[in-house]
Amino acid sequence: MTANLIRLERHRADGSVALLVFDDPERRNAMTEAMGRAVSDAIVRLSADASVRAVVLTGAGSAFSAGGDLAMLEEKSAAGRAAPGGSARGENRAFMRAFYRLFLSVRDLPCPSIAAINGAAIGAGLAVALACDLRVASRDAKLGLNFTKLGIHPGMGSTWTLPRLVGSAHAAELLYTGRIVDGAEAERIGMVNRCAERDAVVATALAIAGEIADAAPIAVRGTKQALRNALAAQLDEQLAFEAEQQAICYESADLAEGLRATREKRTPVFRGE
């Protein structure tokens, strides 16, 4: 059942770029628990495959994801109102933590991830895109964290990711008001890396993924971890991590290939070894 909610494709002759598609267009790729389980299972498989060097996420149809499943929210709301402050609160809290983990498993990928926002990305849908390493959006995409407009606190890590991308002032405005922005404004404030025409969004994201896949995978994976560490590390801690990663790269055939290619003025071919 859950397998039908996503589609997983491999791109490039060597399969080094994966495309993970939310595939529930009739519900505009709503973030259901079933879809979350399908996404989490796919992330586990991709993470275990060393040949995957970059992953692109997108949505089938007209939306990246229109957000959380309203039926699920209504169910949790009814349970909470039936016994305010009682056992339902703990149950709802535990459910939401587990629900977040399913979709935020994208952060567990050892290789970089790119969200190709081909249409609306609202609420939890946008939060998943914000959890990716990079984002490409269509110029006319509608992006917003509309939680407060629904009467619910923001979730899916959005109060953590958004300020780190756009700064505290922009994040506060967007989270307090739930205002929707288009792709062009999202690019201007740093929410997305770049814009493209709607029919070129996935191709643009795949092209970026291809550039990543052409780089040395050991170095790229280390760089992803370094960027993750930098969110909380002191400079000395970061220097120690960089030195360790460079020492690992000194042992690799890829560095030797990169140095040879530089001397020979050709494009290097990295094998992840």
pLDDT at 24 > cutoff 50: yes
CATH class of 2-213: alpha beta
Listed in sequence order, the residues at least 6 apart from 224 whose beta carbon sits closer than 8 Å to its beta carbon are 110, 111, 112, 133
- Bridge partners (DSSP) of residue 18 are 10, 55
Instruction: Tell me the residue type at 75.
Output: E
Q: What angle do CA 33, 34, 36 make, to 5 degrees?
A: 60
Task: Give the residue range(s) of CATH 3.90.226.10 domains in the chain.
Answer: 2-213
118 to 21, 215, 249: CA distances (angstroms)? 11, 26, 36
Question: What pLDDT does residue 201 have?
Answer: 98
Confidence band for 66, pLDDT divided at 50, 70 and 90? very high
Average pLDDT over residues 37-60: 97
Confidence band for 231, pLDDT divided at 50, 70 and 90? very high
pLDDT at 3 > cutoff 60: no
Question: Burial code of 148-173, b = ≥16 C-beta within 10 A, e = fewer?
Answer: eeeeeebbbbbbebbbebbeeebbee
pLDDT at 87 > cutoff 60: yes
Q: What is the mean pLDDT of the chain?
A: 96
Classify 15 as helix, strand or coil: coil
Instruction: Tell me the residue type at 145.
Output: L
Out of 1.10.4160, 1.10.12, 2.40.128, 1.10.10, the CATH code matching 215-264 is 1.10.12
Confidence band for 1, pLDDT divided at 50, 70 and 90? very low
Question: What pLDDT does residue 122 have?
Answer: 98
Question: What pLDDT does residue 219 have?
Answer: 98
Phi and psi dihedrals of 252, rounded to 5?
A: -95, 150
Task: Give the residue range(s) of CATH 1.10.12 domains in the chain.
Answer: 215-264
Question: What pLDDT does residue 4 have?
Answer: 86
pLDDT at 19 > cutoff 90: yes
